[in-house]
Chain A
Amino acid sequence: MSDVTLDLARMMVARRARWTTIEIIFWVAAAASYFLFPTKLVLLTQILIGGLFAMSLDLLLGYGGIPSFGHAAFFGLGAYAAGLLAAHGWGEPVSGVFAGGAAAGSLGFAFSAVIARVRGAAVLMVTLCIGLLLFEAASRMPWLTGGDTGLQGIEMWPLLGLFEFDLFGRTGFWYAYATAFLLYLAARRYVHSPEGLALKGMRENHDRVPMLGVSTVRRKMIAFTISATIAGMAGALLAQTTQIVALETLSFERSVAALVMLIVGGIGTLIGGFLGAATFIWLRDVLSALHPVYWMFWLGLALIALVLMARGGLVGALSRLTARLARVRTMR
C-alpha cells in the first residue's frame, strides 16, 4: 500500500464534498424537464417541493439517525403560515417562504429540546404526537385554516415584482426550482461542515459522541431546527404555487410519504429525497389515474419489496451500477 501523505488526506477530505454525477444529472434533468414536459409543470413543481421536504427529513434521519414520524407538522405549518400571510394581504412570495420557514423553525426549535432528550422508539412517538397535535389543531380552527375545505383566497404578487404566477405554472416551476436548489446548496454545506460530521458521528455511534466533548443535545437541537425550517419553506412553496392549503399538508400520510420517498431514493444522500420524490409522485400520478386504490396497493407492495430486497434506494442502486461499470472498465 502506498503511503498516505497530508496532501492525499486533504484531497480526500475535499473529495467528500465534491459534486457527484447523480447530483449534477438530477439538477440538469430537472431544468431540462421544463422544456421536455411543458404540460406537466404542476407535477414537476410538486416533485421539487416533495423532494425538498424529503431532503429536510434526510438531514435528520439519514445523517443524524434521528427518525421523525410527524415531519408533516413542519411542512404544513410552513404552508399555513405562508398561505395565511398571502390570504390576508401580503402576497410577496420570497418573504412568504421565509415566514413559513421561520414559523416551522420556531416550532421545531421549541420541540427540539424535548426530542433531543428522548431515545429510540420514544422519538418516533413524540414526533408522531407533534404531527397529530398540529393536524387536530388545524382541523379544529376552521375560522383560521379553512378546516376541511382548505385555506383559500391566496393571492400571490408577482415574483420579485416581475413575473406573474401563471396558470400553466411556468413561474411556479422556476420559483420552486430556484428555491429548492438554493436550499439544496445550503443543506450540502451543512452536511459537509463540522456540524454535519458530528451528525454522522451520532448516526454511527450515538453514545460515543459525548466522549469527544460534543454535546449530542445541541447537535440534535440544531439539526431539528434546520430540518423543520427547510420543511416549512417547502410547505410555503406548495401553498404559494398551488394557492391553496389543505389539511392534508399536516397529515400522518404526508409524513409517511416523505419517509417512503427517502427510502426509495436513498437515505443519507440528500439527492435521494429528490429522486425518491420524482419516482413517488410520478408513479402516484400514473397509477392514481388508473384507480386511486391501485396506487395504494402498488405502493404497499413496492415498500415491502424495497425493504426485503434493495438497500440504499435508487442512489444505492445507481452507485452500485457505476461501481460495477468502473470495475468492468479496469478489468479490460
Chain B
Amino acid sequence: MLGLVNILIGGIAYGFVLFLMAGGLSITLGLMGFANMAHAALAMVGGYTAALLIGKAGWPFLAALAMAGVTAALVGAVLERTLFRRLYQASELEQVLLTIGVVYVAIAAATYLVGPEQMAITVPAWLDGNLRLGPIDLNRYRLFLIGSGVALLLSLVHLIEHTTFGAKIRAAVFNRRMTASCGIDVDKLYALAFALGSALAGLGGALSIKLLGLDPNFPIKFLTELLIVVSVGGLGSLRGTFLAAMLFGIIDVVGKYLLPEIGAFIIYATALALLTVRPQGLVGRLR
C-alpha cells in the first residue's frame, strides 16, 4: 500500500515533467498552428545547460535551473525569429520536416559538443534521499518536482487567465486576424509565447534529468511522448495538456511497476483508443 503511494507520487511527478515540456508545444501547436517537432530539443538545451552549469561550473542547483529556462527561451526565440516564423503559413508537412531537420542538427551538435554519454546531475543534499512523514518514506526530489510543478502551473494559469498578455494570447488563439486588427502586434505576441513555451520546456528538461537521464537522442526519444500528450489533451488547451500529462505520467509509472513486461505499450494503446474516440482531444474543440 505504502509502495503504491510512492509509485503514485512518482507518476504525478513524472506527469508534471511531461506537462512542463508539453505545455509549450501545446501553445505553439494550438496558438500558432505550428507543428514544432523540435520542442523536445529545446528541453534538451535546458537539460544540458543545467547539467553543465552544475557539473562543470559549480553553479547552485536553483540558479542552474533558472538559467536552463532562460537559455532555452533564448534559443527558442532565435529559432522562431530566424526559421519558424517563415513557415507559419506553410503546410503542416513542411513545418514537420523543417523542425525535424532542426532536431537532427541539435542531436549532432549535442553529440559533437558534449559527447554521446548519458549525463548525470547532482542535486543538492536537501533534495536527495527520502523524507520521513510518519510511516511513509517520500522521495524528496519527487516532492520537489510536484511542488515546483504546482507553482509553475499556478503562475501559468494566472498569466493566461488574469493578465493582459494572457488575454491577448487567448484572443489570438480565438481569432488571429481580429486580434491583429485591434492593433495588437500578433507577431511580437507569437515570439513572446514561443519564448515562454521554450522556457517551460527548458525547465522541464532540466528537472527531468534525474528521472529520465539525458543524452543527445533525447529530442527524438521524447518527441513522441510529448506529441501524444498534446494531441490527447487537445491542441491549444493547457487544461487538456495538464490532464493528459497527469494521465500518462501515472499510467506510465504505475503500468511499468505493475505490468513491467508490457511497458510503454499501455500508454500508446490508451492514446490510440482516446484519439479514436475523441480525435479533437480530451478538452479540444473540433476545428
By beta carbon, the residue of chain B nearest A115 is: B276
Neighbour of A128 across the interface among B90, B227, B279, CB < 8 A: B227
Q: Are A129 and B261 in contact (CB under 8 A)?
A: no
Q: Are B98 and A308 in contact (CB under 8 A)?
A: yes
**With A136-B265, A140-B265 given, is the CB distance from A297 to B109 under 8 Å?**
yes
Query: In this assembly, does B105 line the interface, its C-beta being within 8 Å of a C-beta of chain A?
Result: yes
Interface string of B75-117 (1 = CB under 8 A from A): 0000000010011001011101110111111111101100000
> How many whole Å from B80's CB to the nearest CB in chain A?
14
Q: Are A132 and B268 in contact (CB under 8 A)?
A: yes
Q: Are A300 and B101 in contact (CB under 8 A)?
A: yes
Query: In this assembly, does B224 line the interface, its C-beta being within 8 Å of a C-beta of chain A?
Result: yes
**With A121-B235, A125-B275, A128-B227 given, is the CB distance from A300 to B87 under 8 Å?**
no
Query: Which chain A residues in 93-131 approach chain B with CB under 8 Å?
Result: 114, 117-122, 124-126, 128-130
Query: In this assembly, does B280 line the interface, its C-beta being within 8 Å of a C-beta of chain A?
Result: yes
Q: In the docked arrangement, what's the CA distance between A124 and B269, Å?
A: 16
**With A132-B268, A293-B108, A300-B103 given, is the CB distance from A114 to B262 under 8 Å?**
no
**With A122-B231, A129-B275, A293-B108 given, is the CB distance from A260 to B97 under 8 Å?**
yes
Neighbour of B275 across the interface among A61, A126, A299, A304, CB < 8 A: A126
Interface string of B217-258 (1 = CB under 8 A from A): 000100010011001000100000000000000000000000
Q: In the docked arrangement, what's the CA distance between A69 and B162, Å?
A: 38
Query: Which chain A residues in 281-323 approach chain B with CB under 8 Å?
Result: 293-294, 296-297, 299-304, 306-308
B283 contacts which chain A residues (CB < 8 A)?
none
By beta carbon, the residue of chain A nearest B264 is: A136
Q: In the docked arrangement, what's the CA distance between A140 and B260, Å?
A: 10
Q: Are A133 and B272 in contact (CB under 8 A)?
A: yes
Q: How many residues of A contact B (CB 8 A)?
A: 40
Give the secondary structure class of B's interface: helix
Neighbour of A304 across the interface among B93, B98, B271, CB < 8 A: B98
Q: In the docked arrangement, what's the CA distance between A259 and B262, Å?
A: 29
Neighbour of B268 across the interface among A118, A136, A301, A307, CB < 8 A: A136
Q: In the docked arrangement, what's the CA distance between A307 and B96, Å?
A: 10
**With A121-B92, A259-B97 given, is the CB distance from A126 to B276 under 8 Å?**
yes
Query: In this assembly, does B60 line the interface, its C-beta being within 8 Å of a C-beta of chain A?
Result: no
Q: Are A304 and B101 in contact (CB under 8 A)?
A: yes
A252 contacts which chain B residues (CB < 8 A)?
220, 224
Q: Are B102 and A300 in contact (CB under 8 A)?
A: yes
Residue among A125, A130, A137, A293 with max Cβ neighbours from chain B (10 Å): A125
Q: Are B264 and A118 in contact (CB under 8 A)?
A: no
By beta carbon, the residue of chain B nearest A302 is: B101
Query: In this assembly, does B132 line the interface, its C-beta being within 8 Å of a C-beta of chain A?
Result: no
Q: Are B275 and A300 in contact (CB under 8 A)?
A: no
Q: In the docked arrangement, what's the CA distance between A61 and B94, Å?
A: 13
Q: In the docked arrangement, what's the CA distance between A137 and B106, Å?
A: 29
A67 contacts which chain B residues (CB < 8 A)?
92-93
> How many whole Å from B129's CB to the nearest CB in chain A?
33
By beta carbon, the residue of chain A nearest B281 is: A122
Q: Are B104 and A299 in contact (CB under 8 A)?
A: yes
Q: Are A301 and B276 in contact (CB under 8 A)?
A: no
**With A67-B92, A297-B109 given, is the CB distance from A140 to B261 under 8 Å?**
yes
Q: Are A307 and B87 in contact (CB under 8 A)?
A: yes
Interface pairs (17), CB distance under 8 Å: A117-B279, A122-B279, A130-B272, A132-B264, A136-B264, A256-B100, A293-B107, A293-B108, A294-B108, A297-B105, A303-B104, A304-B83, A304-B98, A306-B97, A307-B94, A307-B97, A308-B83
- 19 new A-B pairs (CB below 8 Å) besides A137-B265, A296-B108? A121-B29, A121-B235, A122-B280, A125-B228, A126-B272, A128-B228, A129-B271, A129-B272, A129-B275, A130-B272, A132-B228, A140-B261, A260-B100, A301-B101, A303-B101, A304-B83, A304-B105, A307-B90, A307-B101
Pairs A-B, 7 closest by C-beta atoms: A300-B104, A303-B101, A297-B108, A300-B105, A122-B279, A125-B231, A304-B101
